[in-house]
Amino acid sequence: MLKNLWYAACVEGELDERPHPIRMLGHDLVLFRDAAGQPACLADTCVHRGAPLSRGQCVPGGVQCPYHGWVYGADGRCVEIPSLEAGERIPRRARVDAYPCAVQFGLVWVFLGDLPAEERPAIPDFLPEFSAGDGAWRFIHGRFDYAANWERVFENHIDSAHTHFIHPDFGNREDPRVARTKVEAQGLGAWAEHSYPPRPKRGPLGELVDEHRPPVRTRLAFDLGGLCVRLAIRMTDTLRQVVFQAFTPIDEQRAVSHYIQARNFLLEPEHDAPMRADLEKIFTEDREILELLRPIAVPEAVKAELSVHTDALPVAFRHQVRRWRQAYGSVRSPDPATAVTAIACPARRAGERWVFPST
Ligand code: FES
Ligand SMILES: [Fe+2]
């Protein structure tokens, strides 16, 4: 798993007055709102005796450990040890890793790494529709869980050739060819355009389009910056749909997608549930095959699997992942029976001593 990237953690509205446990990259973290109401994220394991801070409570100074009541601020420093006399010093090592947070597209993002702000990759602006704000778009937020490796899941969403075999509603087994297309590098990712013969009309959307309409055009882009994918679909000159997904590894064998569908048609709320059901049917079809792939993780060597030209986007992704891994190393899940490790946060660059070793 890759560090020094932004990861989508949850929908902002989910953060309330309680601390929330979340596992990312095999590490337990706690999300909460600081005194100013801004999202904060800390390593979840108390340096005193290893209790999960997320089982404690939010207090004015930060988050309070449930075991002996130590309070950690949003910067990860312990600000209160209730068992000490007033005026007794709090040890300098009484701190946990604190990760930068951001809010974009209504999602809370956490930067899991130690790069200073100016060196961090940006969360790509993959959903400009979200801030357009003129009511022309309707959005659905959701999360979808996979018992599959994050790279396998990510690759699936930038893989055009599986559509005809896995998705009967819009794939076409009679003509499963994928036209040769140029893959253009952009940022920490790439994009490609495709066009597809329109599928038979169905549902409420079918009533908005002609039987004989031009091909559906898509633009598919990915970026490592927020580990996200944007699929923009032009169904006609005016009907557009965008499916944005940000992928987060829970550990080596589980991943989650935070998805946002944007559409500029059927804007009434009653269309949300059927739209979501359609989308999740597609994700479910993908998930069934993704959970069967072997090896579970994408092999390290590009040559360990065979790719053809229609795999150009997934191959571009593999190259980006490989480059990032070479630059920053990779994160593995610690064994909870024997060790606690923390993903190094930016404050570790100051060179002080910390209780838990970093990864
Ligand atoms: S384990 Fe957290 S205060 Fe003791
Ligand atoms: Fe798919």
Question: What CATH number has the domain bearing residue 53?
Answer: 2.102.10.10
Do 135 and 107 fall into the same domain?
no
Among residues 28, 88, 34, the alpha carbon closest in space to that of 53 is found at 28
How many Å lie between the centroid of ligand 2 and the Cα of residue 151?
14
**Residue 106, domain extent:** 5-119
Judged by its nearest atom, the ligand closest to the C-alpha of residue 56 is 1
- Report which protein residue has its CA nearest ligand 1's atom 1: 49
Where residue 17 falls among pLDDT bands split at 50, 70, 90?
Answer: very high
49 lines ligand 1 (CB under 6 A): yes
Q: For 13-23, what is the mean pLDDT?
A: 96
Q: pLDDT tens-digit profile of 108-163?
A: 999 999 999 999 999 999 999 998 877 899 999 999 999 999 999 999 999 999 99
Does residue 143 sit in the same domain as residue 114? no
Identify the CATH number of the domain in which residue 172 sits.
Answer: 3.90.380.10
Q: Does 317 lie in the same domain as 210? A: yes
pTM for the full model? Answer: 0.96
229: number of Cβ within 10 Å: 24
Structure tokens at 113: 């790494």
Specify the number of domains making up the chain.
2
Q: How far is CA 150 from the centre of its chain?
A: 9
Angle at 255 between CA 144 and CA 17, to 5 degrees: 70
353, part of any domain: no
Which residue's CA is the nearest one to ligand 1's atom 3?
68
What whole-number distance in Å separates Cα of residue 309 and Cα of residue 161? Answer: 10
- Tell whether 142 and 226 lie within a shared domain: yes
pLDDT at 38 over 80: yes
> Are 213 and 69 members of one domain?
no
DSSP letter for 172, please.
-
Our answer on whether the CB atom of 92 is closer than 6 Å to any ligand 1 atom is no
Task: Give nearest CA residue, ligand 1 atom 4.
Answer: 68
pLDDT one-digit tens code per residue, 311-335: 999 999 999 999 999 999 999 999 9
Burial of 304 (0-12, 13-18, 19+ CB in 10 A): exposed
Domain-embedded: residue 333? no
Helices in 157-247 by DSSP H: which ranges? 163-166, 203-206
What's the CA angle centered on 288, arms 286 and 291, to 5 degrees? 100
Shared domain check, 143 and 107: no
Mutate to test the pocket of ligand 1, among 57, 67, 81 (most ligand atoms within 8 A of CB): 67
